[in-house]
Amino acid sequence: RDFFARTSDGLLGVALAQLLTDDLLDSRAGKLQAAEAIDASAGISAANLRPKSTHHPARATSVIQLFMNGGPSQMDLFDPKPTLNAMDGKPFPGNVEEIGNQSTSSIGVMMGGQYRFACHGESGMPIADVLPCTAELTDELCMIHSMWTDHPNHDNALYKIHSGRLFMGYP
């Protein structure tokens, strides 16, 4: 019973996939034939997976993603918080339950950033003083500040940001 209780969804998925395989393959074959006919009329090979030309020539020749897990937080290095620094040592003014903390017995005080910031390059990007070599390259960097997840667990949130899923095992 325990085996079936734990694996019923997986077994259902296997059975459903088997039942729908023929329909799926038939519909894909029809779509592929239609795409091949359109491509053939335009003189394009359907199996051509090489990169196509772009509207504008690319200026970048490569991308290097720096994912520095375990180092100082990006909020400490690239995101100055002047209001938080002004509140350093003061009690938290809001309601802790609103931010999802379950233990409200010991809230503590606000803690400001430990690094000083300066704006660098033509873009004026703020970078902490502990990264002087990175600050010299500011205008060659693309800093993305818009990635976020609503998952409170850091490990699963990292999986979601990098793969779009909460659990490991996906590229």
Q: Is the pLDDT of residue 85 over 90?
A: yes
Structural domains in the chain (count): 3
Q: Is the pLDDT of residue 48 over 70?
A: no
> What domain range is 26 assigned to?
1-46
Question: pLDDT tens digits, residue range 115-141?
Answer: 999 999 999 999 999 999 999 999 998
Cβ atoms within 10 Å of 77's Cβ, excluding its own: 20
Per 3-state DSSP, the chain is made up of helix, strand and coil in percentages (nearest 5) of 40, 5, 50
Matching residue, tokens 């994912």: 67
Q: Output the CA torsion 51→62→77→120 (10° steps).
A: -110
Q: What is the pLDDT of residue 128?
A: 95
Q: Check residue 164 and give left, alpha or beta (phi > 0: left; psi -120 to 50: alpha).
A: left
63 domain residue, yes or no? no
149 domain residue, yes or no? yes
Q: Check residue 159 and give left, alpha or beta (phi > 0: left; psi -120 to 50: alpha).
A: alpha
65 domain residue, yes or no? no
64 domain residue, yes or no? no
With 0.85 as the threshold, say if the pTM is over it. Answer: no
Closest CA to 77 of 21, 131, 153: 131
Distance CA 143, CA 118 (A): 16
